[in-house]
Structure 1
Amino acid sequence: MNILVLNGSPRPNGSTAGMIKTFKTEAEFAGHTVNIVDVCRKNIHGCLACEYCHGKGDGECSQKDDMSEIYVLLRDADMLVLASPIYYHNVSGQLKCVIDRFYALLYPKAPGRLKKVAMFLTSGDPDMYDGAKFSYDGDFLGYLGLEDMGIFTNHDKGVMEKISEMVQRM
């Protein structure tokens, strides 16, 4: 399975990075390919709502920035993992820009290969995940109809073991 991990954390050694590292190790050991994109280190602008992608662009965004790298990886992905610390009850702004730019490629449906999704979230407060979970449920499970591989938080007891168990189910 080809897996794309979008890391929305600006901290290279933080809690989000730890969850991603565990997942990558387990998934590669199980024979999967894992591509990690640190979106905070990319030059990605917000969606302009210009509709070029659904007109003249035929699925291509009018903006020429680092999002084009993610589009290539997303087209080849069987599974998507969204990983982020919680900022104001949702994923980081950097990851949110990427998700908004999915509009060009994922509307009205996901590329044929993309079937599964998971989310890794970290926060200093165990009661801050609702906004990110709402987006995950509505956008990725409901709208795109992807298979739910789970939401994992740094407040889950035994989260690293749960991530390992999820890899075994893939």
Structure 2
Amino acid sequence: MKAVILNGSPRPNGNTVKMANAFTAAAAETGHQVTRFDVCRMNIRGCLACEYCHGKGNGECVQKDDMDKIYAALEDAEMLILASPIYYHGISGQLKCAVDRFYAALYPKAPESLKYISMFLASGDKDQYTGARFSFDGDFLGYLDLEDKGFFTSAGEVTEETLNEIRNMAKAL
């Protein structure tokens, strides 16, 4: 299986990355291929709502930036993992820019290979996930009809229990 992780954390050794690394290592042990994009270190601009992708662009975004690398990886990915710290009850702004740009990748239809979704979230408080959960349920489970492979959260320092849950999910794919 090919999986794509979009990491929205600016902290290279933070809790979000620890969760992404746990998935990557366990998935690799079972023969899966994982590609991680650290969107905070990429040049990804927000959606312009110009509709080029839904018109003469036929699914291609008018903007030429690092999002093109993500589009290419999504073409044959079977799983998408969104990993982010929580900022004001939602995913990081950098990851939000990438997610908004999915508008082009999903036209005229979503990549046929994409079947599964998971989300890894880190925050300072356990009651901060409502905005991210709303997007996960509505956009990815509802609109895209992806199969839920887990919504993993870590309030404070990520625990070994959470990392093991992520590892177990990766090994079960």
TM-score, normalised by the number of residues in structure 2: 0.95
Q: Is the Cα–Cα contact under 8 Å of residues 109 and 144 in structure 1 kept in the other structure?
A: no
Matched residue, 1:125: 125
Structure 1 residue 161: deviation in Å?
1.3
Q: Does 2:157 match 1:161? A: no
- In structure 2, give the amino acid aligned to 1:38: D
Percent identity (aligned): 62
Structure 1 residue 110: deviation in Å?
1.8
Residues 52-95 of structure 1, C-alpha deviation per residue, up to 9 Å, x if partnerless? 00111010000011111110001121100000000010000000
Residues 121-156 of structure 1, C-alpha deviation per residue, up to 9 Å, x if partnerless? 000010000110110000000000000001001148
Q: How far apart, CA to CA, are the structure 2 residues paired with 1:12 and 1:114? A: 27
Structure 2: which 5+ runs fail to align? Answer: none
Counterparts in 2 of 1:5-154, with a 5 A limit? 5-107=5-107, 109-154=109-154
- What secondary structure does 2:128 align onto? coil
Q: How far apart, CA to CA, are the structure 2 residues paired with 1:46 and 1:163? A: 30
Structure 1 residue 165: deviation in Å?
1.8
Matched residue, 2:3: 3
- In structure 1, give the amino acid aligned to 2:118: A
Q: How far apart, CA to CA, are the structure 2 residues paired with 1:5 and 1:124? A: 22
Runs of 4+ in 1 over 4 A off after TM superposition: none
How many residue pairs get aligned? The number is 170
- What secondary structure does 2:82 align onto? strand
Cα RMSD (Å) of the superposition? 1.2
Q: Is the Cα–Cα contact under 8 Å of residues 58 and 108 in structure 2 kept in the other structure?
A: no
Structure 1: which 5+ runs fail to align? Answer: none
